[in-house]
Amino acid sequence: MVGKKKRKGSKTVVNLILGFICFIWLLPTLGLFISSFRPAADILQTGWWKVFPHQEWTAGETLQLSKEVDLRGPIEVNGKTYSDDQLKAGVKADDSRLIWENRRARTINVQEQGWKTTPDLTLDNYNNVLSGKEYKLKEADGSETMQKGTGLSQAFWNTLTIAVPATVIPVLIASFAAYAFAWLRFPGRKTLFVIIIAMLVIPIQVALIPVLKDYTALGLNGSYLGIWLAHTAFGLPLVTYFMYNFISQLPKDLFESAFIDGASHFTIFSRLILPLSVPALASIGIFQFLWVWNDYLVSLIFIGNQPSVQVMSMKIADLVGSRGNDWHLLTSAAFISMLMPLAIFFLLQKYFVRGLMGGSVKG
């Protein structure tokens, strides 16, 4: 009985610590989430936590000092004396706070503390980001023109157009290769496979410059095909390794009988292997999809700057760089870019986790 009680007690402690860690982990994202719904002016003036009820000084009655009072010396207000600096910063007097309202006019504000919330939340930031914000441009002659920036919706479609094939292509190619490596015997099999495994850890920076040169020569730069191929190459080693682990574990007699029945390897692959591998395909597919969706470096190098092909990560990085103070755009843009990964993450968490572990836990 004593032991059980002790464990229960320690369980509460564990829960508390874990809860605290989780809170810290969530806090940054929560801040962004709340901020993305706040009006632009609010974001720049107060912290996002002010959305929640909090105590704040609010302006109350105004005291007028007489003209004789020397502002440099001690100032007497309601029977107590304060220095000029204290009144500048605000000083506590009983339940209220005294602070200069207008030093030149000699008015002091008596503030009272009260509970406040600033709950004005809006969808404007999202609207602005999706449709493109309007900028005032001053012309040389002094007139102002409005110009519409490009919206995020185009970038969203671009990202999707890149991410879906850049997921399916490597997964398919890797599955074919993994099947051959696992179940077909041919000269050079071991060497090729070891080379592919070694590629797992090669930093892609090593490949960027020459590939960019080839792409420029072939006109592949800024094209969908080019970026699909790049993502395919950079993702292939991991996907092949993962699919090999799965496909080589399938029971041999399963497709041996199919082979004897006269099925070709292609038929076996598409009718037997692919359907059997759905869990593995799903998990590694999610992983690759998230990787492509979140990628920045590869797109930055192979896509170029035309807005018609830009992906979301580039768009947001641009926003950070050029308009660091447009927080309202930045917050909602970042959140839009997170929607897809987060949805996938929460819906398909089980598979995603399995995809991660496939290459790591074994052994």
Residues 67 to 96 in contact with other proteins, rule: CB under 8 A: none
Four-point Cα dihedral 338, 339, 345, 346, nearest 10 = 130
Among 37, 126, 234, 255, binds other proteins (CB under 8 A): 234
If binding is defined by CB under 8 A, does position 202 make contact with other proteins? yes
Tell the smallest beta-carbon distance from residue 137 to other proteins (Å): 25
Min dist CB 120 to other proteins, Å, is 16
Which strand (E) or helix (H) includes residue 35? helix 2-35
Question: What residues form DSSP beta bridges with 145?
Answer: 137
Which range touches other proteins (CB under 8 A), out of 54-62, 67-75, 131-139, 209-217?
A: 209-217
Q: Read off the tokens for 338.
A: 């997170």
Q: What is the CA radius of gyration of the chain?
A: 31
CB-nearer residue toward other proteins: 63 or 169: 169
Residues 317-356 close enough to bind other proteins by CB under 8 A: 317, 320-321, 327, 330-331, 333-335, 337-338, 341-342, 344-346, 349, 352-353, 356
Residues in 268-307 that interact with other proteins by CB under 8 A: 269, 290, 293-297, 300-301
Q: Which of 79, 262, 275, 363 binds other proteins (CB under 8 A)?
A: 363
Left if phi > 0, otherwise alpha if psi is -120 to 50, otherwise beta: which for 352? alpha
Region 1-30 residues binding other proteins, contact defined as CB under 8 A: 10-11, 14-15, 17-19, 21-22, 25-29
216 binds other proteins (CB under 8 A): no
How far apart (Å, rounded) are the C-alpha atoms in residues 211 and 238? 20
**DSSP assigned state of 93:** E
Q: Is 337 exposed, middle or buried (0-12, 13-18, 19+ CB in 10 A)?
A: buried
Whole-number Cα distances in Å, 311 to 15, 161, 163, 224, 317: 41, 10, 10, 11, 10
Decide: is 214 part of the binding site for other proteins (CB under 8 A): yes
**239-268 positions binding other proteins, by CB under 8 A:** 240, 264-266
Nearer to other proteins, 135 or 266 (CB): 266
Contacts (CB under 8 A) with other proteins, residues 160-199:
160-161, 164-166, 168-169, 172-174, 176-177, 179-181, 184-186, 189-190, 192-199
Min CB(155)–other proteins separation in Å = 10
Token output for 231: 């993502």
Work out how close the CB of 296 gets to other proteins at its nearest, in angstroms, rounded to a whole number: 5
Is 53 one of the binding residues for other proteins (CB under 8 A)? Answer: no
Buried b (16+ CB within 10 A) or exposed e, 209-234: eebbeebeeeebbbbeebbbbbbbbb
